[in-house]
A and B are shown apart, each in its own frame.
Chain A
Amino acid sequence: MAKHAITLNINGQQMDVAVDSRELLIHTLRDRLRLTGAHIGCETSHCGACTVDIDGASVKSCTVLALQAQGADIRTVEGLAGSEGLHPIQEGFFEEHGLQCGFCTPGMLLRAWRLLQDNPNPTEDEIRHGMAGNLCRCTGYQNIIRAVQHASEKMQSGETAAAE
């Protein structure tokens, strides 16, 4: 099967990769680029374990062809932490016990990241609705919500500190 050469900008890094026309983005990320943070939990776009951020939106990468992502800016869990350490969202999940088996976590983190870009100070209800596309079987969600609230506070106080 003829391959197609595409370029993806993943976590600020340009990556050239040859993919099959029918290849799903999640397989390209996991199997070809070895970015195994995002996972596959279903094939019906329900679980959100494969969530990554593409051009400013949370996207379930099991429902997108790799070809469709040609030229896109993609962020995955591997790109969340910066040179100064963990991202406040990662810290939030750690501090508030927002994960157990860890399988849904990369998708949760990326969705939370986008949610807080769009709405830096969400209410509990907004978090519940904003993250309803990501399923978790372990935590009962309560600590995930706390984790997002933790991150929200941290990011805002960070901004305030930076402004001062």
Chain B
Amino acid sequence: MASDIEEVESTESTESAESEARELADRLGGVGCRRKRTEDARFIQGKGNYVDDIQMPGMVYGDFVRSPHAHARIKSINKDKALATPGVHAVLTAEDLEPLGLHWMPTLAGDKQMVLADGKVCFQNQEVAMVIADDRYLAADATELVEVEYEELDPVVDPHQSMAEGAPVIRDDLAGVDEGAHGKRIHHNHIFTWDVGDADATDKVFSEAAVTVKQDMLYPRVHPCPLETCGCVASFDKVKGELTVHLTSQAPHVVRTVFSTLSGIPESKVHINAPDIGGGFGNKVGVYPGYVVATVASIVLGRPVKWIEDRIENLSTTAFARDYHMTGELAATEDGKILGLRANVLADHGAFDSCADPSKWPAGFFNICTGSYDIKTAYARVDGVYTNKAPGGVAYRCSFRVTEACYIIERMIDVLAEHLGMDKAEIRLKNFIQPEQFPYQSALGWEYDSGDYPRALKQVMEACDYDGLRREQKEKRERGEIMGIGLCTFTEIVGAGPSRNCDILGVGMFDSAEIRVHPTGSVIARMGTKTQGQGHETTYGQIIATELGLPSENIIIEEGNTDTAPYGLGTYGSRSTPVAGAATAQAARKIRDKARKIAAHLMEVSEDDLEWSGEGFRVKGVPDQSTDMPTIAWAAYNNVPEGMEPGLEAVDYYDPPNMTFPFGAYLCVVDIDRYTGETTIRRFYALDDCGTRINPMVIEGQVHGGLCEAFAVAMGQELPFDGAGNIQGASLMDYFLPTMVETPRWETDHTITPSPHHPIGAKGVGESSHVGGIPCFSNAINDAMNQFGVSHVNMPHNAFRVWRTLHELELDQRPEAANVEPYQPTREAAPESGSPASVQSPDKASGKGTEITIERNYPLDVPADDAWEILQDIEKVTACMPGASIVEQTGDTTYVGEMKLKVGPVTSAFKGDIEVLGVDPENKELRMTGSGGDSKGSSSASMSLTARIEDKGAGRCELVGSTRIELKGKLASFGGRMLENVSDRMLQQFVDSFRDRVAAGGEGEQAEEARRRVEEGPKSMNALAMVWQVIKSLFGRK
């Protein structure tokens, strides 16, 4: 009885202590309160300071000449024309960088990468030369004037073909190098083989297990695509010999070390400043050629040089993510207890291994792939290979390769459940690591710090009425409706990391905080991390407010300037809170220790008699006798105990004892339209456990953002390539960034399981929802498909791909469909605009570029004979295209054509050979082929065209055209939708001109009007520079 009473009392006192702490946190703006963000004031008033906002006197602009080919030898580069252009200051090539040893640079992964193409190019859009000019328009113009002659080589596009016998050699520089940064290389396109776990024991488990399942899955190549692209302003002061670079970096201190090492300038004379960053998500961890070349240009010219990527450059050259071709296997008992895991991965690293992982981890922390489950035996192996694609391999809103690991285990557990006919929640509950097993040693080498997985999943199941959802799914299935329920119970590994096994280029992955308390009790603190939207200026302030009992509104947080901030490894892999957040708490505690001594001195008591009150110190048992932190701060500058040095500040470099392991349980409900594949996300419920919650408002914002990016990846993002290595869809025309319309509504929830080794128990949360969200969406789609016997479909689950699966399953057949004649478009019935152009990317092994097939018919109000007369006259036909002309006739049926354009910022000339294959007067049909490229070889195309005039009687006819175009180079990279759209408009303009030209041959007012228009020539189109690139070249190849 007595003990019961005690317990009630203790609960009450705990509750009252908690409410007191909450009240104090609210008052101070400390840990746990929903403090509004301090950084917002400048952003909502347009006063942010991003790299492209920086202007300096005498600043010039750099722009890249890039490779149109995925794989080619460079025969020559001629920069004379560019250099002769007024306003152009320099054109830098590898030859110019070589004397400085800067034509190559080391990568974070122990490989090296060309800064500018050194004799060959290894991926499309690779940096070949940089033009420096007075403004960005002149620089763009001049890149068109640099003439590069290429000799095309066979590309390696499919990583499965990469290590084939006789596969093209991508890296000539590695000839004879059979020892890589991560062990033996067994093929010229092999980078590393990394494995972990007990292979033999795993084989044994698999051979003995009652049940095994195996599934191939592709985690496609995607890109973090922050809204702000990468860029820099480099400024070298020749007098002082000092270099200042403002750049978009998530890790400015490491960049300083790299720049100093590369340039030979002492690190003290290299000033790196990362100002406001417009989102990073892993894209801004690495050092890119643009930074290096702009810096060299500044050193050469003695002027500030700005280089800012455009979106296509961003998506196609800096930092892809994922591209893991995975095979997962699970061994289990018949009742669903998992006994073993095997994971094999083929990793496509592109042409240079510039993965942003800690040095000793070539596949990051992929060995977290046992997930939240107690799997005693496991083996994982990753083979990294070179292909002719852009380098990267960054952690897109996740810790190193954790998203891939989470995807394989969360998909595999569903595959196993499906195989066993078990419920997907039940199998998870059966295999979870139990709360009492923490700290838990995983089969692949990690020590999980803390977790309560069953509680998290049960809470979600209850909140969403999981059983009810399953019942509904069954009922719907019977009615022919398709619904899917996705679960994901993930464990992340973040906060890299202990310097005993984590370093970047030899620098241990600690992080730092320096805190100064001013005499009046306000504070300035600086960290080695760098916020890109996470809200560090707000949340670090909250940690300090709670630790020091000072109001956060008077605490300033600064990051990103390497001159002022202490050295740290930066912000990525959710490491800010686990590492720099810990450093912040530790530095504050050092200050508090000193404050205690000062307080004892002021109050003339022993230190041991004092206790922390939350805002200062009080004498134990005598609450009235207290002193607050502002008083102590003042005393620190004028009244310290004898022997103590004045001031109140501290620095802490925190080397974490372990990673932190945030986790969560997510549930997603999707409804799929069986006829179109359109998916509606009906519900997304996310429960996260990130340990101690510093600012719930910021946490929810981080979770929302991560979920939205998870939605993007699962449902639409990919960077595909055609067989020639042309990147398809590297603009926002094709690369999926969800808008508000598609984005689902998010429901968030949480549990709190503090990290036992973190000073304030926090684990990090910025990436959890991206890591856990992706498999949850994918599991929901797959859950829907499972009902029809499909075990796995790959991401992205866009409407077309979902429809294709449904179509293969014949689920898109309406009962009445059998009675309907399939629609066959006929030429007569087609409207003037014709059917849409079809764009195809042939399979990667074919070596072909992107093909576009266009079939059109256009009614003309002129007699067929008149139209035919013009159609036979190639010079007149050509004149219907703006800026095009026949330069010379080289044979009876062969011509050289040219296309000159000067529109917007771009001037360019295309040249090509045209051959008339046949003129058939009877059918009024013309067949021709053409092939050509632009003068600097950035794009090439070949085309075959058939055009026919069909007599419609009554002085009317129809122009029927069909063309097949194969594109290579820059143009092909604009992707399907763009090309389709532009070719439609272009054709329309051509036909308008053609119609005028035919009509001009007639009599009367209309003919007069047409003659006038013909004389004026086709109007030039007003469009964006990029659209123009496409248009001019579509014309140019004819």
Contact = CB atoms under 8 A, between A and B. Distances in A.
A81 B45 contact: yes
B905 interface: yes
A31 B137 CA distance: 12
Contact of B701 (A77, A86, A97, A131): A97
Contact of B733 (A46, A80, A101, A104): A46
B279 A103 contact: yes
Interface stretch (A2-10, A32-40, A153-161): A32-40
Nearest to B748: A142
A76 interface: yes
Most buried by B among A101, A127, A129: A101
A90 interface: yes
A103 B227 contact: yes
Contacts of A69: none
A47 B733 contact: no
Nearest to A144: B740
A37 B47 contact: yes
A109 B701 CA distance: 18
Contacts of A138: 279, 533, 701, 705
Most buried by A among B39, B53, B532, B701: B701
Interface string B689-719: 0000000011011011111110000000000
Contacts of B39: 102
Contact of A139 (B701, B741, B905): B701
A144 B738 CA distance: 14
Interface residues of B, number: 63
Contacts of B740: 127-129, 131-132, 134, 141, 144-145
A71 interface: no
Contact of B227 (A31, A132, A137, A141): A137
Interface string B185-212: 0000000000000000000000000000
A83 to B, nearest CB: 14
A43 B730 CA distance: 12
Nearest to B905: A22
A47 B746 contact: no
A93 B42 CA distance: 12
Interface in B494-547: 532-535
A135 B743 CA distance: 11
Interface string B10-46: 0000000000000000000000000011011111111
Given A22-B137, A131-B740, A137 B281 contact: yes
A99 B704 CA distance: 12
A87 to B, nearest CB: 9
Nearest to A76: B46
B364 to A, nearest CB: 22
Contacts of B743: 128, 140-141
B43 A99 contact: yes
B982 to A, nearest CB: 12
Nearest to B308: A40
A121 interface: no
A100 B36 contact: no
B626 to A, nearest CB: 35
A39 B708 contact: no
**Shortest 7 CB-CB contacts between residues of A and residues of B:** A37-B46, A101-B533, A102-B43, A103-B278, A140-B704, A140-B708, A100-B533
Given A77-B44, A139-B708, A141-B704, 6 more contacts: A39-B52, A41-B228, A44-B733, A44-B1026, A102-B533, A135-B737
8 contacts: A20-B137, A40-B52, A43-B731, A100-B535, A133-B739, A136-B227, A140-B701, A140-B705
Interface of A: 20, 22-23, 27, 30-31, 34-47, 49, 63, 76-78, 80-81, 86, 90, 93-95, 97, 99-106, 109, 127-129, 131-145
